[in-house]
Structures are given as structure tokens and as C-alpha cells.
Structure 1
Amino acid sequence: MYNELQKRYVRESKKNKEQSEAIKNLTIKIHELEHNLQEQRQRIEQLECKKVSWKTNAVSEKRSRTSEGGITSHRDISEEKESCCSKYLELLLKEIKKLKKENGKLSAEKRALKNELAGLDKEFFEEVEDLKHAVQECLKLNYEYEKCLKQISVMYGLPFTAHL
């Protein structure tokens, strides 16, 4: 029972540490993605500003070159860039939502584990330490008893079997 309790405690402690690390890493990743999203939004704003200037240039350029044939205008290029950026932003937003959801789950699990560990007060751990010490003493005593049994069995010529 003691060993099971100790194993469970070690397992829960490791699990708690792993989840804390996972939450920390997810939080860092979320911040990085939010920062990246902010940069992309700024880039989109810059492209939109350029788009306005391109539109005025594109209209005059299109009028002058319509007689030459099918030349692609700046407007078509900016629309392609805008659609590419919007797809990238959508992917980033999906990833951020997924990470926030996972972060929330891990945070809830961490809180539950902390609440569970909070129920184990200092006295409990002192009792566990006392039990550890008692087990060690019992092992020493068992070893001494086994030695004595071996000596007695040799004295009386009886076969000693360690598994008994």
C-alpha cells in the first residue's frame, strides 16, 4: 500500500510537472503566433495602402496599355497577394484557437491536480516518510531473522530454503 501510494505520488508529481511545461510551451507558442498575426496584419495594412496607390496607377496604366494587349495590372497582383495573406491569417487564427483550447484543457487539468495535491497536507508527507523509515527498519530486521534462521538450520542440519 505504501509503495502504491508513493508510486502514485511520484506519477502525479511528474504529470503535474509535464503539464506545467506543456502549458508554458503552449503559452509561449500562442504569444509567438499572436505576435506573428499582428505582424501580418500590419503587413496587410501596408499592402492595402500600396493597393490604393496602385489602383490609381493601374487605372492610368490600363488605359494606356489596353491597346497593346492583355497586360496584367497591379490590381490583379495585389488581389492575389491579399488572398494569399488572408489564407495565411486564417490558418494562423485556426492554430491560435486550437492552441488556446488545448491550453485551457491543460490549465483545467493542472488546477484539478493542484486541488488534489492541496488535500495532502504536510502531516501526510511526514507520515509517508515515517512509513518509509519503518519499511527500511523492517527490511533490516527481516535480513537479521533470515541470518539467524540460516544459522539455526545449519546447527540442526536442516535444509534452509529462502523462499519460506
Structure 2
Amino acid sequence: MYNELQQRYIKEIKTNKEQSEAIKKLTIKIHELEHNLQEQRQRIEQLELKKVSWKTSAVSGKRSRTAEGGTSHRDISEKKESCCSKYLELLLKEIKKLKKENGKLSAEKRALKNELAGLDKDFFEEVEDLKHAVQESLKLNNQYEKCLKQISVMYGLPFTAHL
């Protein structure tokens, strides 16, 4: 019973550490993705400013088409915008997914902490006392076994180790 309790305690501590590390990694990844999102938003703003400046130059009679049937600057910027917006959508989906996973792990971590909170200092002292008692009983059992071997040799009786 003591061993089961100790194994469960160790397992919960290990699980708690693993979840803490997972939460830490997810938080870092969320921050990285948010940073990437911010950079992409700035890039979109810059592209929009270029688009606005291009529109004003096209209105004043400067280049609107590169050649007959060619691609205009507007078409190119629209393609870039659609690509960036798709990338931003993917980033937002990834961030939402990571935040959801982070929330689940945080809730599980809180539940484990609450469960461990029920185990007070006296409990752990009792576990240590039990651990010491088990070690002492093992020593005593070994001494008894040696004595039994000596007695069985003295009286010529067969000694079976499984006893």
C-alpha cells in the first residue's frame, strides 16, 4: 500500500512537471505566433500603403499597366494581400488551437495541484516514517533468515529460502 501510494505520488509529480513544461512550450509558441502575426500585420499595412501610393500615381497618369495585356501593379499587390491574409488566417487558427490546448493543460494542472494540496506535511512525514519502518523490517527479516539458516545447519534440517 505504501509503495502504491509512493508510486502514485511520484507519477503525479512527474505528470505535473510534464504538463508544466508543455504549458511553458505552448506559451512560448503562442508568443512566437503572436509576434509573427504582428509582423505580418505590419507587412500588410506597408503593402496597403504602397498600394495607396501606387493608386495615386496611377491616377496622375503614371504607369497603370506594364504593357498591353500585362499585369498591373494592382493585380500583383492583390495577389500578395490574398497570400498574406491566408497566412494570417492559418496563424490565427494555430494560435486559437494552442490557446485551447494551453487552457486544457492549465485546468488539468490546477486539478493536480488541488489534489496534491490535500496531502499535508504530516502525510509526507508519515510516508517517510513508513519508508524507514520498511527498511528496518527488511534488515530484521534478513537477520531472522540468517539465524534460521544457522539453526537449520546446527540441527541438520533443510532450509528452504521461500519461507
Report the TM-score, using the length of structure 2 for normalisation.
Answer: 0.94
Indicate the larger mover: 23-32 or 112-121: 23-32
1:99 & 1:68 partners in 2: Cα distance? 48
Give the direction of change, closer, same or farther, for the CA distance of 1:155–1:63 in structure 2 (3 Å limit): closer
Give the direction of change, closer, same or farther, for the CA distance of 1:17–1:109 in structure 2 (3 Å limit): same
Give the direction of change, closer, same or farther, for the CA distance of 1:73–1:148 in structure 2 (3 Å limit): same
Give the direction of change, closer, same or farther, for the CA distance of 1:60–1:66 in structure 2 (3 Å limit): farther
Contact 2:30-2:98 within 8 A present in 1 as well: yes
Contact 2:57-2:63 within 8 A present in 1 as well: no
Q: How far 1:29 sits from its partner (Å)?
A: 0.8
> Could you say which residue in structure 1 is the equivalent of 2:34?
34
1:57 & 1:4 partners in 2: Cα distance? 78
Contact 1:51-1:78 within 8 A present in 2 as well: yes
2:31 & 2:148 partners in 1: Cα distance? 68
- Unpaired segments of 5 or more residues in structure 1? none
Per-residue Cα deviation, 1:59-82 (whole angstroms, up to 9, x for no partner): 567877588443x10000000000
Give the direction of change, closer, same or farther, for the CA distance of 1:81–1:61 in structure 2 (3 Å limit): farther
**What is the aligned residue count?**
163
Contact 1:58-1:73 within 8 A present in 2 as well: no
Q: How far 1:14 sits from its partner (Å)?
A: 0.4
Per-residue Cα deviation, 1:60-113 (whole angstroms, up to 9, x for no partner): 67877588443x100000000000000000000000000000000000000000
Give the direction of change, closer, same or farther, for the CA distance of 1:96–1:157 in structure 2 (3 Å limit): same
2:65 & 2:7 partners in 1: Cα distance? 79
> Could you say which residue in structure 2 is the equivalent of 1:147?
146
Q: Percent identity at matched positions?
A: 91
Secondary structure of the residue that 2:160 maps to in structure 1?
Answer: coil
Report the TM-score, using the length of structure 1 for normalisation.
Answer: 0.93
1:20 & 1:125 partners in 2: Cα distance? 23
